[in-house]
């Protein structure tokens, strides 16, 4: 069985303890407009076009067998209904402005990458992190890869939205040392409005992991105008305190990645960030005053 990934990042230091190899799995059931890895949302291979790298040579337009590419003034346009994602345009692009995102890999491919850094994992108490996208959208593939990684006593972290079935979560539990668990907001309707899905199962799965004494770090992305108000913070506190007083929380400030959305021919919004630093500090202080362990950043 193959898995679809869109990146393997070696020497990562923000995806769990120590030095890590992070494998980014492609495909996510949520559609958060602030996602900083929008190339991880679609569960299939895609094209990405980086405007500043393009020299407008037209080679991609000319080689496409399906006439899926054209220029609208200086902007390359993609007709998805015609594109078969054959990759010929990306192969011929002289500047790598156009590239294919997403690669099908086997278990051995993943392990070959991991093996390169095992020495660093030992020295730094690091390990391997599966991120995305949503890794648990490819649970069957994870179940092929994880036992081999654990057989080498490598620390495994999963960076998840928590939006998965109880059954799939249960299946991977024996192989996971740490869950980096996203909590975007507590209110159900607001969660649906901003991410496309309700959050009941996310909250249930989180309670289940904590009741099973799994190591969980909660990651709250702080998004201006979405979850940074006083009432949002109060809701986070009530919910987090109901889980466990010792829960660790990381606050992840919003970053504008609208260039990536443009590169994927997708639309996004731009958050107003002028008060973001202040909001992050205010949330941090309030969570700490309520006895929670909080850190800014991953």
Distance in Å, CB of 79 to ligand SF4, minimum: 8
User: Is residue 231 a contact point for ligand SF4 (CB under 6 A)?
Assistant: no
Tell me if 195 sits within 8 A of 30, measured CB to CB: yes
Instruction: State the Cα–Cα distance between residues 246 and 39, nearest whole angstrom.
Output: 34
From 50, 57, 83, select the one nearest 69 (Cα to Cα): 83
Q: Which two tokens stand for residue 94?
A: 């002289």
From 222, 248, 246, 247, select the one nearest 233 (Cα to Cα): 222
DSSP E strands in 91-227: the ranges are 98-101, 103-105, 127-131, 155-160, 178-182, 215-222
| Interface stretch with ligand SF4, choices 26-34, 91-99, 106-114, 115-123 (CB under 6 A) | 91-99
Pick the binder of ligand SF4 from 57, 77, 173, 189 (CB under 6 A).
57
Which of 84, 123 has the CB closer to ligand SF4? Answer: 84
Instruction: State the Cα–Cα distance between residues 174 and 220, nearest whole angstrom.
Output: 25
| Interface stretch with ligand SF4, choices 33-41, 86-94, 229-237, 238-246 (CB under 6 A) | 86-94
User: Is residue 69 a contact point for ligand SF4 (CB under 6 A)?
Assistant: yes
User: Is residue 86 a contact point for ligand SF4 (CB under 6 A)?
Assistant: yes
DSSP one-letter code for 231: H
The total of other beta-carbon atoms located within 10 Å of residue 153's CB is 10
Distance in Å, CB of 39 to ligand SF4, minimum: 15
User: Is residue 68 a contact point for ligand SF4 (CB under 6 A)?
Assistant: yes
Helix or strand holding residue 167 (H, E): helix 166-172
Phi, psi for residue 276 in degrees, rounded to 5: -65, -45
| Interface stretch with ligand SF4, choices 85-93, 101-109, 205-213, 273-281 (CB under 6 A) | 85-93
User: Is residue 62 a contact point for ligand SF4 (CB under 6 A)?
Assistant: no
| Interface stretch with ligand SF4, choices 50-58, 105-113, 197-205, 219-227 (CB under 6 A) | 50-58
User: Is residue 101 a contact point for ligand SF4 (CB under 6 A)?
Assistant: no
Radius of gyration in angstroms for the set of CA atoms belonging to the chain, rounded to a whole number: 20
Instruction: State the Cα–Cα distance between residues 210 and 225, nearest whole angstrom.
Output: 29
Which of 85, 111 has the CB closer to ligand SF4? Answer: 85
Pick the binder of ligand SF4 from 28, 98, 172, 243 (CB under 6 A).
98
Distance in Å, CB of 266 to ligand SF4, minimum: 16
Q: How far is CA 161 from CA 15, 31, 67, 214, in A?
A: 14, 11, 38, 16
User: Is residue 56 a contact point for ligand SF4 (CB under 6 A)?
Assistant: yes
User: Is residue 296 a contact point for ligand SF4 (CB under 6 A)?
Assistant: no
Distance in Å, CB of 84 to ligand SF4, minimum: 5
Return all residues near 37 (Cβ < 8 A) that are at least 6 apart: 6, 24, 131, 132, 133, 260
Pick the binder of ligand SF4 from 95, 242, 270, 288 (CB under 6 A).
95
- 47 forms bridges with which residues in the sheet? 100
User: Is residue 70 a contact point for ligand SF4 (CB under 6 A)?
Assistant: no
User: Is residue 64 a contact point for ligand SF4 (CB under 6 A)?
Assistant: yes
Pick the binder of ligand SF4 from 55, 189, 281, 289 (CB under 6 A).
55
Query: Which chain residues interact with ligand SF4 by CB under 6 A?
Result: 47, 49, 54-60, 64, 66, 68-69, 76, 83-89, 93-95, 97-98
């Amino acid at each position: 069985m193959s898995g679809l990934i869109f990146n393997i990042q070696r020497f990562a230091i923000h995806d769990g303890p120590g030095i890590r190899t992070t494998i980014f799995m492609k495909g996510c059931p949520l559609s958060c407009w602030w996602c900083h890895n929008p190339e991880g949302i679609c569960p299939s291979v895609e094209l990405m076009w980086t405007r500043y790298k393009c020299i407008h040579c037209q080679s991609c337009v000319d080689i496409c067998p399906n006439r899926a590419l054209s220029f609208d003034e200086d902007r390359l346009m993609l007709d998805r209904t015609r594109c078969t994602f054959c990759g010929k345009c990306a192969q011929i692009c002289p500047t790598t402005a156009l590239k294919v995102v997403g690669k099908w890999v086997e278990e051995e491919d993943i392990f070959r990458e991991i093996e390169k850094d095992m020495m660093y994992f030992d020295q730094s108490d690091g390990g391997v992190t599966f991120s995305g996208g949503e890794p648990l959208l490819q649970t069957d593939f994870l179940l092929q890869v994880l036992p081999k990684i654990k057989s080498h006593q490598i620390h495994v972290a999963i960076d998840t939205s928590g939006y998965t079935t109880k059954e799939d979560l249960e299946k991977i539990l024996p192989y996971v040392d740490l869950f980096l668990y996203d909590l975007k907001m507590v209110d159900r309707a607001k969660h649906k409005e901003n991410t496309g899905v309700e959050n009941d199962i996310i909250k249930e799965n989180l309670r289940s992991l904590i009741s099973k004494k799994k190591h969980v770090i909660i990651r709250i992305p702080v998004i201006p105008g979405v979850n940074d108000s006083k009432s949002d913070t109060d809701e986070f506190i009530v919910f987090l305190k109901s889980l466990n007083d010792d829960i660790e929380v990381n606050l992840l400030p919003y970053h504008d990645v609208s260039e990536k959305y443009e590169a994927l021919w997708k639309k996004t919004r731009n958050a107003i960030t002028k008060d973001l630093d202040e909001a992050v500090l205010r949330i941090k202080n309030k969570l700490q005053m309520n006895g929670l362990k909080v850190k800014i950043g991953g």
